[in-house]
Structure 1
Amino acid sequence: MAASVPPSNSGLPSRAAELDAPAFSPLYQQIKTLIVRSLQAGEWKPGEAIPSEIDLASRFKVSQGTVRKAIDELSTENLLVRRQGKGTFVATHAEQHVQYRFLRLAPDDGEEGGAQRRLIDCKRMRAPADVAKSLNLKSGDTVVLIRRVLSFRGSPVVLDDIWLPGQMFKGLTAEKLTEYRGPMYRLFETEWGIRMIRAEEKIRAVAADEAAAELLQLAAGTPLLSVERLSLTYDDKPVELRRGLYNTSSHHYRNELS
């Protein structure tokens, strides 16, 4: 005779299993996974309010405190934003404090300022082998290569080469990039529904070659900071490879460790 299975009082483990949230993980982590899945599915768009903690608690049949703990973690991870007296919203790269959270360059004098962008090139091409490997693409797949210069207070500081999967960014052109005045990641959110969740970086010191030196208005051989950043969306799917050369003569690379 088969052993009887105690009834679940929430119905959550079966749903969690369905969405790759281990039933043995803490309950708030299961709720966190379910909320992330809803974000990934586009149930709540960037900038939109999500349901209240009470409504989510009712939906998932858990306590409000469990939902609150899940939302706290998602807020810490910059996936959600709490606004006092208004509710909780899906984070967007249009938010000032989120726009440059992957750009860790800071001026030595501490005076923050917005970046001026100059587009050098935007073209479609076959992915070089190393780029295809980083983006989990097949050899020969199409990528979009964007080259641009970021200037601060009128001086060029960063030369970026940005590689994007061509299939995911259909319709991305130099004209579209030039016409759009907001942050690039916000454009990716609104036009292609792709949100950068987290990033991994590799940093090393290099010397400017002639091409980089000309674009950054430096002498060839000037020391630069090379920052290779792989940005990922939900489920740790790589969606951008960015290779930047930073002139740190009046800037420094800033990070917080914990």
Structure 2
Amino acid sequence: MRGLQGGEWRPGEAIPSELELAARFRVSQGTVRKAIDELAAENLLVRRQGKGTFVATHNEEKIQYRFLRLQPEDGMPPLRMQRQFLDCRRLRAPSDVARALDLRAGDTVVQIRRTLSQSGVAVVLDDIWLPGSLFKGLTAERLSEYRGPLYSLFESEFGVRMIRAEEKIRAVVADEATAVVLSVQAGAPLLSVERLSMTYGDKPVELRRGLYNTHGHHYRNELS
């Protein structure tokens, strides 16, 4: 874990073999294998048959959308949703955002507003807050140009990898402004999902507040 957190092995790179790691840390190969298994279960490492073990990246197909739990009723995968960025600006963090991201009052944040649509209909309205010090140079133009998953951009260009997230979910009704964006009636039921994403060391690096129109979708989670 220290090697991952310290950037010794970067996303997409192979880590040393189990034998090499065992010798380096003076532990048994079984101990190394158990640690690798645990990190793979947490989507921090990826085993590739015949090739070795690699640091996971948000470009990995099986994990690039693992935080998006909205599933269409017709079975179409969520990765086919189209995104549109409505705004991207730098400003002083509102007090509640600063608390969530463990920032000081007055620190700069980047606020992104976007929609996710399916078949031309907006399904999600997201407000995303990022620490300004970690995302210098992030602009609306760069967001619009990038074609991959948003977390892949954060990882590849800003060195910020989302490791895990916590969510709070509640039912709300659409106000007039949100109703226009999501093409619903004012007062229509929506799902409010607030996600706090963390990087290594449980450092909060993203606050995301999404409003979901679940008329043709459902929120799906797996519990274990």
The question of a shared fold, defined as TM-score above 0.5 by the shorter chain, is answered with: yes
1:79 is aligned with what amino acid? L
Give TM-score, length-normalised by structure 2: 0.97
**Any stretches of 5+ residues in structure 1 without a counterpart?**
1-35
In the other structure, the counterpart of 2:200 is 234
Other structure's SS at 1:97 match: coil
Note the alpha carbon deviations across 1:142-182, whole angstroms, 9 max, x for none: 10000000012322110000000011111110011011111
Tell me how far apart the structure 2 counterparts of residues 217 and 239 of structure 1 sit (CA, whole Å): 31
In the other structure, the counterpart of 1:85 is 50
Q: CA deviation at 1:52?
A: 0.9
1:108 is aligned with what amino acid? E
Q: Answer 1 or 2: which has greater strand percent.
A: 2
1:67 is aligned with what amino acid? V
Other structure's SS at 1:103 match: coil
Other structure's SS at 1:98 match: coil
Q: CA deviation at 1:39?
A: 0.6
Note the alpha carbon deviations across 1:15-61, whole angstroms, 9 max, x for none: xxxxxxxxxxxxxxxxxxxxx11111111111111111111111111
In the other structure, the counterpart of 2:213 is 247
In the other structure, the counterpart of 2:155 is 189
Between 1:148-157 and 1:174-183, the stretch displaced more is 148-157
Q: Does 1:139 find its partner at 2:105?
A: yes
Q: How many residues align?
A: 223
Identity %, equivalent residues? 74
Other structure's SS at 1:46 match: coil
Which residue of the other structure, out of 94, 101, 116, is the alignment partner of 2:66?
101
Q: CA deviation at 1:112?
A: 1.4
Tell me how far apart the structure 1 counterparts of residues 45 and 120 of structure 2 sit (CA, whole Å): 34
Which residue of the other structure, out of 121, 131, 134, is the alignment partner of 1:168?
134
Which residue of the other structure, out of 93, 105, 117, is the alignment partner of 1:127?
93
> Considering only aligned residues, what root-mean-square deviation do their CA atoms show, in Å?
0.8
Q: Does 1:56 find its partner at 2:18?
A: no
Q: CA deviation at 1:110?
A: 2.1
1:152 is aligned with what amino acid? Q
Give TM-score, length-normalised by structure 1: 0.85
Tell me how far apart the structure 2 counterparts of residues 155 and 89 of structure 1 sit (CA, whole Å): 38
Q: CA deviation at 1:235?
A: 0.6
* Equivalent residues in 2 for 1:199-238, closer than 5 Å: 199-238=165-204
Structure 1 runs, 4 residues or longer, greater than 6 Å off = none
User: Between Structure 1 and Structure 2, whose CA radius of gyration is higher?
Assistant: 1
Q: Does 1:152 find its partner at 2:113?
A: no
Other structure's SS at 2:192 match: strand
1:91 is aligned with what amino acid? A
Other structure's SS at 2:62 match: helix
Q: Which has the higher contact order (CA 8 A, sep 6+)?
A: 2
